[in-house]
Amino acid sequence: MDDNIYDGIAATADRETFLDLLQTPALRIERIVSDGQATPPGEWLDQDRSEWVMVLRGSAGLWFEGDAAPRIMKPGDHVNIPAHVRHRVEWTSKDEPTIWLAVHYVPSP
C-alpha cells in the first residue's frame, strides 16, 4: 500500500501527534507532528534506544545536555541521538507544524 508522509496532518497546539510508519522488534519509524510543543522545563529525555531524527518541515531547537545552546533544526537537518544521551526539545515552530521523521533503533553492542 502506498502512503504519503504528509497525509492526514492536522496541527493541534494542545499536543504532539505520533504515527508509527513501521515497527519491528529492533526498529520503529515514526512521524511526529509538533505545533509549538517543547519538553517541559527542567525535564530531559533519556531513551533506551538510539534515535535518528530529521526535520521535514518547520523548525525546532534540540538541546543536548552539556551544550551551551540548542541546535537549530530546519528542513533537511538530521541528527543521531545515541541511547541514554540526555536531550530536550527546547521549542518547535508556532508558525507552521514541525514534521519530524524519527527512526528508533536498538544500538549495536
Pair 48, 36: CB distance under 8 Å? no
- Average pLDDT over all residues of the chain: 93
Q: Is residue 74 part of a domain?
A: yes
Range of the domain at 52: 31-105
pTM for this entry: 0.90
Q: Is residue 85 part of a domain?
A: yes
The CATH number of residue 49's host domain is 2.60.120.10
pLDDT band at 3 (very low <50, low <70, confident <90, very high): confident
Q: Is residue 43 part of a domain?
A: yes
pLDDT band at 8 (very low <50, low <70, confident <90, very high): confident
DSSP-based three-state secondary structure for 17? strand
In this model, does residue 1 exceed pLDDT 60? Answer: no
Picking from 90, 40, 86, the residue whose alpha carbon sits closest to that of residue 60 is 90
The domain total for the chain is: 1
In this model, does residue 13 exceed pLDDT 70? Answer: no
Q: Is residue 12 part of a domain?
A: no
Q: Is residue 24 part of a domain?
A: no
Q: Is residue 15 part of a domain?
A: no
pLDDT, tens digit (0-9, with 9 covering 90-100), for 31-62? 999 999 999 999 999 999 999 999 999 999 99
pLDDT band at 2 (very low <50, low <70, confident <90, very high): low
* Spatial separation of the C-alpha atoms in residues 92 and 72, rounded to whole Å: 10
Q: Is residue 11 part of a domain?
A: no
Evaluated on CA atoms 43, 49, 50, 52, the torsion sign reads negative
Pair 65, 39: CB distance under 8 Å? no
